[in-house]
Chains A and B, each alone.
Chain A
Amino acid sequence: MSSFLTRRLIQSLILLWIVSMIGFALLHLTPGGPLSQFANTPGMSDEDLTRLAEQMGLNRPLPVQYLEWFGRLLTGDWGRSYRDQSPVLYVIGSRLGATLQLMITATLIAVIVGGFVGVVGAVRRYSFFDQFVTIGAMVALSIPTFWFGLVVIYVFSVKLGWLPPGNISPVGNESFIVFVHHLIGPSMVLGLVTTAIWSRFMRSSMLDVINQDYVRTARAKGLSERIVLVRHVLRNALLPMITIAGLEVPTLLSGALVTETVFTWPGMGRLFLDSIGYRDYPVVMGLLTFTAILVIIGNLLADILYVVADPRIRLQ
């Protein structure tokens, strides 16, 4: 197990390095730059701009800038935001909680609703329910997240007035109930795609297992259908779902980008979009690196969980 972890850790670091390099290159390929916001300031001369570029290290060749940034990253210095000079890690940290709350809630919705729908769809295959949710999942997968977010706001906030249209809580009232009330809309929107994906994979995974010989053995023992389904079918059908859950982390992170923007949710996704707008290179690069780490951790956790859940897999 420990040699497996070491190997995966080295792989992860290489992956992280590649991701950061590509991200850095793409970021600097985009037109404009951190200096453009100063360019229109009255009284700003070209010399001032050159001096600023020198101060910020922007006048050096890109590979040198990248190596400097990466070298500092390895020592734990993620840089400072161009906007207010606060440390990047602090900026990310202040937004991390809101995003995680959203992601975890969306995941719970996906696992519970998607899992239930998938299991029932498999057990009652080709029933009205099954066909209905099959179409429903297709529709859910085809709906753009930003549009669904706007529809939710229009219907539940504007027309019905049941849900707040955005933000995490009103100023001065930060009770848990209020927070949950604000969480419903965005987590529903963020969870939609994942729920649809989860229900499809759960259904097909259940169907794979339902026809296995050992399920017939379980029935031949005279066990009740509930025990057969839970202990023999579901237990085995959940194994591939661990991998699916790991792979859902990037989907959720990119979904959070849109959802947080639509619902003005103060998380990392909105921070990312704002920082790109400001060409706040240190924060954008920090977020990129940080989400890459989250994705890698998600997959690593999925691999470890798989080993725990499937006795056939033993690592040497």
Chain B
Amino acid sequence: MTPQPTTASADGPPLLEVRDLTVEFRGQTGKVAAVNGVSFDVRPGETLALVGESGSGKSVTSLAIMRLIQRAGGNRVGGSIRLRRRSGDTVDLLAVSEDEIREIRGTEIAMVFQEPMTSLNPVHTIGAQVAEGIVFHRRVSRKAALAEAVELLDLVGIPEPQRRIRNFPHQLSGGMRQRAMIAVALACKPNLLIADEPTTALDVTIQAQILELLQGLQRQTGMSIVFITHNLGVVAEVADRVLVMYAGRIVEEAGVVPLFGRPLMPYTQGLLRSVPRLDMMSGAHEELEAIPGNVPDPTAMPAGCAFHPRCAHFRPSLCDTAVPGLEPADPEHSVRCARWRDVAAGVPA
């Protein structure tokens, strides 16, 4: 494994191409579109951040990539998710057989979940849980897999790994458990790691350690990371590119520098303004801005732009009639807003 720069190059075919992904859940009140026509690429070696509030569809998107959404009970997953496999073939993850998706899970795409407390099985040892995937996918002996588990725990910075493989999850702290979770995900050396809010449940100091760990592992292995978070501080720290999601749609897509420097979608601007900053302390009575209102009820989506009821730039009969398309503002920056030119030009709300 040769070290690769964290920042990916824009050229080369993408590792993952998500096109028009739509996920509908059937609830008691009818169909609910949790994800609505989402398209994006993940390039080799890059970190793509998926940002949005709870209910924006970011976690559902990640579960759809893993094909972990139950399709029974009237749930529907549409569109395509094309993965370039190690073999060089490109396959649609939504169309491959159960056996093939199982082979891809863990070995080519792996996932780290939000809750390290509940995401590890309480009755199996850490070592068994790390080794399990290795035994299953590579058909090696349990002993050899456990030896690899020790190396993996060492890799993710767990001290005394030889002893820790015999521990149960409850014997580890939250941060250590998340490290173990990462070791589980890395066990079969995936090309793509999906990290669904991996630091949200952790203390702030531990959060920074986990982020550093993930970045270090990415430099060593060259894997791509899809990083799902609602924390813009984390985004600035780790991401190369950012997708902002709102109510099941991508509303802005840009490199991390242009997005933070020149956000075009009023929602993104609101998110950035609602992050507390140190320099605000100097101001006498400056209050932290919040976006007014709430995320729309998925069963009763507003017509037109889903953000219009909360938007300062709202124009009747423009914003509440048709859903605006995702327009390129420049080649590496797209925005879904009917008034993005006015917003960009600083026309007051």
Contact = CB atoms under 8 A, between A and B. Distances in A.
Given A236-B121, A311-B168, A217 B103 contact: no
A220 B66 contact: yes
B122 A220 contact: no
Nearest to A219: B68
B123 A217 contact: no
Contacts of B66: 219-220
B268 interface: no
Interface in B108-136: 110-111, 113, 115, 118-124, 132-133, 136
Contacts of A311: 122-123, 168, 170
B107 A217 contact: no
Contact of A221 (B136, B168, B170): B136
Interface in A222-260: 222-224, 227, 231-232, 235-236, 239
Interface string A83-95: 0000000000000
A241 to B, nearest CB: 14
A221 B105 contact: yes
Interface in A293-316: 309-312
Contacts of B132: 218, 221, 223, 231
B232 to A, nearest CB: 25
A229 B340 CA distance: 50
Nearest to B117: A213
A216 interface: yes
Contacts of B165: none
A222 B107 contact: yes
A217 B198 CA distance: 13
Contacts of B26: none
A223 B106 CA distance: 8
A32 B13 CA distance: 95
A11 interface: no
Contact of A216 (B113, B168, B170, B187): B113
B256 interface: no
B104 A222 contact: yes
A310 B103 CA distance: 31
B142 interface: no
B136 A222 contact: yes
A224 B136 contact: yes
Instruction: Tell which of A223, A232, A236 has the most Cβ of chain B within 10 Å.
Output: A223
A217 B119 contact: yes
A17 interface: no
Contact of B68 (A212, A220, A236): A220
Interface residues of B, number: 31
A308 to B, nearest CB: 11
A218 B120 CA distance: 9
A222 B68 contact: no
Contacts of A232: 121
A216 to B, nearest CB: 6
A236 B115 CA distance: 18
B121 A217 contact: yes
A193 to B, nearest CB: 30
A128 B120 CA distance: 33
B105 A214 contact: no
Contacts of B122: 214, 236, 310-312
A312 B125 CA distance: 11
A296 to B, nearest CB: 27
A227 B129 CA distance: 12
A222 B105 contact: yes
A224 B115 CA distance: 23
B273 interface: no
A183 to B, nearest CB: 35
A221 B133 contact: yes
A13 to B, nearest CB: 33
Interface in B72-114: 101-107, 110-111, 113
A151 B122 CA distance: 46
B102 A216 contact: no
Contacts of B110: 220-221
Interface of A: 212-214, 216-224, 227, 231-232, 235-236, 239, 309-312
Shortest Cβ-Cβ A-B pairs, 9 listed:
A222-B105, A222-B106, A213-B118, A221-B133, A214-B121, A213-B119, A221-B106, A311-B168, A220-B111
9 contacts: A214-B122, A217-B119, A217-B181, A220-B105, A223-B106, A231-B124, A236-B123, A310-B123, A311-B123
Given A212-B118, A214-B122, A217-B113, 9 more contacts: A213-B118, A214-B118, A219-B105, A220-B113, A222-B106, A224-B102, A227-B136, A236-B121, A312-B123
